[in-house]
Structure 1
Amino acid sequence: MKAIHVPKGGGLDNLTVADIPDAADPGPGEISVRLHASSLNFHDYGIVSGNMPTEDNRIPMADGAGEVTAIGDGVTEFATGDAVVSTFFPDWIDGPPPLADFTRTPGDGLDGYAREAVTLPASWFTKAPDGWTHAEAATITTAGLTAWRALVVDGGLKAGDDVLVLGTGGVSIYALQIALAMGARVFATSSSDAKLERLADMGASGTVNYKTDTDWGSTIAKMTDGRGVDHVVEVGGPATLQQSIKACRIGGHMALIGVLTGRSGDIPTAAMMAKHQRLQGLIVGSRNMQKDMVRAMETTGLRPVLDKEFPLDQIADAFRHEESGDHFGKITLSI
Structure 2
Amino acid sequence: MHIYRFDSPKLDGLRRHEEDVPRPQRGEVLVRVHAVALNYRDLALLEGGILKPTRAGITPVSDGAGEIVEVGAGVTDLAVGQRVVGLFHPRWFGGPKRAERAIGSYGYDSDGWLAEYKVLSREAVVPLPDNLGYEQAATLPCAGVTAWNSVHGSAPAGPGQTVLTLGSGGVSIFALQYAKAMGARVIATTSSAAKAQRLLELGADEVINYRETPQWGARVKALTAGRGVDKVVEVGGPATIGQSLQAVAFDGEVVLVGFLGESGAPLDYFQLMQCGASLRSTNVGARPMLEACVRAPIEPLIDRVFGFDQARGAFEHLRSGQHLGKVVIRVAE
- Give the TM bin, normalised by the shorter chain: over 0.9
1:317 is displaced (CA, Å) by 0.7
RMSD in angstroms over aligned alpha carbons?
Answer: 1.7
- Is contact 2:92-2:101 (8 Å) kept? no
1:322 is displaced (CA, Å) by 1.0
- Which one of the candidate residues 311, 316, 329 is aligned to 1:315? 311
- Which one of the candidate residues 39, 42, 60 is aligned to 1:41? 39
Name structure 2 gaps, 5 residues minimum.
none
1:273 is displaced (CA, Å) by 1.8
Q: Which residue of 2 aligns with 1:76?
A: 76
Q: Which residue of 2 aligns with 1:304?
A: 300
1:29 is displaced (CA, Å) by 1.4
Q: Percent identity?
A: 39
Select between 322-331 and 166-175 the one with higher mean Cα deviation.
322-331
Q: Which residue of 2 aligns with 1:93?
A: 93
- Which one of the candidate residues 24, 28, 31 is aligned to 1:30? 28
Q: Which residue of 1 aligns with 2:157?
A: 157
Q: Which residue of 1 aligns with 2:320?
A: 324
Query: 1:287 is matched by which residue type in structure 2?
Result: R
* Deviation per residue, 1:157-185 (Å, 9 max, x gap): 22221000000000000000000011111
- Matched ranges for 1:114-133 at <5 A: 114-133=114-133
Q: TM-score, normalised by structure 2?
A: 0.94
Select between 41-50 and 102-111 the one with higher mean Cα deviation.
41-50
Name structure 1 gaps, 5 residues minimum.
none
Aligned-partner Cα distance in 2 for 1:73–1:11? 38
Q: Which residue of 1 aligns with 2:247?
A: 247
Q: Which residue of 2 aligns with 1:59?
A: 59
1:309 is displaced (CA, Å) by 0.7
Aligned-partner Cα distance in 1 for 2:243–2:145? 25
Q: Secondary structure at the match of 2:63?
A: coil
- Is contact 2:91-2:102 (8 Å) kept? no
Query: 2:329 is matched by which residue type in structure 1?
Result: L
Q: Which residue of 2 aligns with 1:232?
A: 232
1:129 is displaced (CA, Å) by 3.9
Q: Which residue of 2 aligns with 1:187?
A: 187
- Matched ranges for 1:199-278 at <5 A: 199-262=199-262, 266-278=266-278
Query: 2:41 is matched by which residue type in structure 1?
Result: H
Query: 2:159 is matched by which residue type in structure 1?
Result: A
Q: Secondary structure at the match of 1:64?
A: strand
Query: 2:33 is matched by which residue type in structure 1?
Result: L
1:234 is displaced (CA, Å) by 0.2
Aligned-partner Cα distance in 1 for 2:263–2:110? 23
Q: Secondary structure at the match of 2:240?
A: helix
Query: 2:79 is matched by which residue type in structure 1?
Result: A
- Is contact 1:67-1:83 (8 Å) kept? yes
Aligned-partner Cα distance in 2 for 1:128–1:272? 41
Aligned-partner Cα distance in 1 for 2:251–2:191? 28
The 1:5/1:50 distance shift into structure 2, 3 A limit, reads farther
* Deviation per residue, 1:65-116 (Å, 9 max, x gap): 0011122233233222221111111111111122179641011111000001
Query: 2:32 is matched by which residue type in structure 1?
Result: R
Aligned-partner Cα distance in 2 for 1:4–1:107? 11
The 1:29/1:265 distance shift into structure 2, 3 A limit, reads farther
Matched, 1:293 2:299: no
- Is contact 1:102-1:109 (8 Å) kept? no
* Deviation per residue, 1:44-66 (Å, 9 max, x gap): 11234566423221010000100
* Deviation per residue, 1:188-232 (Å, 9 max, x gap): 001111101111111111111111111101101111111111000
